[in-house]
Structure 1
């Protein structure tokens, strides 16, 4: 195996290991920000009831998560239940499911009409997992989303997948948008938004996520996939809203897709000017202590209004304090030493 490919695979495994919630090397930090909910426009610390009251007028509510953080999913559930208690019956849209998964999710929701024993209910959940192709994925991750889908079932809420299929994402990442066949492009919705400043910003983020590695060809393909996914999710969100405008769309999504009101948020705004969107982000504290104003600092990007990461930030403990790039750096150094020998 080529050394660089081996390093990339090791890095990927490190990220996956962290995502599965392995015990961190450092002890958890008792940061005073944990549990605080802040309105980033005012810096005011809020109670959840105030947040929910603010959400009642929104057409689209983003609940931006770190996928493997159980506290984020617990808070999502609390907010959805609070909206229901206030008389709202939201539609739930999931980044982690594709638009093609929606009939399976709705079939599961419809099964609330039938009375089943606990044993049968468990079998129905297991069958849904297999139908969705989640039987080979993390049990913990599946449990987080199943709990929310079960809430949709209990309350008879619409539950829909928002994203491209895994096969579509793989095709774009492998080939790049320009190399897709005509029929593939026709099956993927596009806003046709094209902005060099946003592209450069995302290229920098991709490099950061990949520990400083910059491969222009791969960055281009990752960006193509990122844009196609955000376009698809934005289109599905607006379709859900148009179908039942009296029911807000609550979007269960990775916080990166909504940071600084870019990504999905910007594209929904483009497709549906005037739509009311609220961007709530569940944010893990940083590895080392940071003042609150660092979290609230707006992004200054030419062509876009300065915006903090989210309209509301709810701080939580980290899942892990491990830095996946540290292992990568050690492997890279070993590889360089090996080459010199």
Structure 2
């Protein structure tokens, strides 16, 4: 099952007022492209806080300014390993992922696609079917715990139409359970755990960041004694995703790998890009975090605080409206209370 993550909501950005009149807005009037690019940002399916000035902005944290969708595509084309994030139940995130993947295909790329939502113990047909729904049936998607397949259909339709190599990018169900309960050596086997560098501790500062990410990712509600095992499991999943992403590149005629995963797995400091750099420092990674806007975050620094970092820990962040105003931490709290009384 995917982890329950606190959901970002809408923000009113006040810093760098020049953004409001140049690259902040996604409209053609404020940010003209060359005419070739149009996409989901012109017609959001999610509506909550869609009028926030940050919605549609593609922010480059290192450069400290916004970029256009065309500049984003150029950077995608230059990457050996491209990582496309998501909030799992936000339909606009999957539409943006499908658009980015289609842009690569239209420009002659044939990347291998590694997907967090597919496990190695699921049945991945060979050859792949032409129909996304046939793929969903083969994977028994309805019983995986992920959001409904309709959200992912645009992405898989793009991949199947282009006949892209498709790889699982997660632990098998039993591996995940055993890793969480008994550790990575028990879950993955000693040889594979060693090959992934998981039998050695992370540097202390990175381990602390990862533990805090897990703590915040579960709303600060988990018992402190549970955090080390959860962080170790998260580390193992990130390493396995990095391994799958690199394998996807090896399956690609154009020598490019693309990962589809939750945005939390794409942070460059402690997650999949970190492991990909460990495994293949010669390969260029490019991580795109898709984030919903949030009303309690008046500046970009407040978004960075969510990740406990001075700047947003991605190569690029694309802001979208949010799906709902549900308090997911309250939901998790209620779920844990029910479990405690069962």
Tell me the TM-score normalised to structure 2 length: 0.74
- Matches for 1:147-186 after TM superposition, within 5 Å: 147-177=154-184, 180=186, 184-186=189-191
Q: How far apart in 2 are the matches of 1:160 and 1:270?
A: 21
Q: Higher mean Cα deviation, 251-260 or 145-154?
A: 145-154
Q: Measure, in 1, the Cα distance between the counterparts of 2:102 and 2:159.
A: 10
Contact kept? 1:105, 1:149, Cα under 8 Å: no
Alignment CA distance shift 1:254-1:332 (3 Å): closer
Give yes or no for the alignment of 1:76 onto 2:97: yes
Distance 1:168 1:330 in 2: 28
**Aligned counterpart, 2:54:** 33
Q: Which residue of 1 aligns with 2:42?
A: none
Cα distance in structure 1, aligned partners of 2:335 and 2:252 = 52
| CA contact 1:285–1:318 (8 Å) conserved in 2 | yes
Q: How far is the alpha carbon of 1:142 from its aligned partner?
A: 1.6
- Name which of 133, 139, 162 aligns with 1:132: 139
1: CA distance, partners of 2:156 / 2:331: 36
CA contact (8 A) 2:120 2:171 kept: yes
* Number of aligned residues: 295
Equivalent position of 1:250 in the other structure: 258
Does 2:326 match 1:322? yes
Q: Is 1:191 the equivalent of 2:197?
A: yes
Residue equivalent to 1:233: 241
Contact 1:28 1:321 in 2 (8 A): no
CA distance in 2, matches of 1:263, 1:174: 21
- State the 1:307 CA deviation: 5.9
SS at match of 2:296: coil
> Which has more helix, going by share of residues?
1
Give the 3 Å change call, closer, same or farther, for CA 143–47 of structure 1 in structure 2.
Answer: same
Aligned counterparts of 1:219 and 1:255: Cα–Cα separation in 2: 20
Residues 142 and 148, structure 2, Cα contact 8 Å, conserved in 1: no
Classify 1:208/1:33 alpha carbon distance in 2 versus 1 (closer, same or farther; 3 Å): same
Q: Distance in 2 between matches of 1:105 and 1:290?
A: 47
Change beyond 3 A, Cα 1:250–1:332:
closer
Are the counterparts in 2 of residues 233 and 264 from structure 1 also a CA contact under 8 Å? yes
Cα deviations across residues 286-330 of structure 1 (Å, max 9, x unaligned)?
A: 2424223433679787xxxx7632111110011222223346668
Spell out, residue by residue over 1:13-36, the C-alpha distance to the aligned partner (whole angstroms, 9 max, x if none): x959x8xxxxxxx96463110111
Whether the 8 Å CA contact 2:83–2:286 is kept in 1: the answer is yes
Q: Which runs of 5+ in 2 are unaligned?
A: 8-46, 338-342
3-state SS, counterpart of residue 124 of structure 2? helix
Residues 146/307 of structure 1: CA separation in 2 closer, same or farther (3 Å cut): same
Give unpaired runs (5+ residues) of structure 1: 1-11, 19-25, 113-120, 334-341
Q: Out of 247, 267, 284, which is 2:292 matched to?
A: 284
Distance in 1 between residues matched to 2:228 and 2:146, nearest whole Å: 33
- Structure exhibiting the larger radius of gyration computed from Cα positions: 1
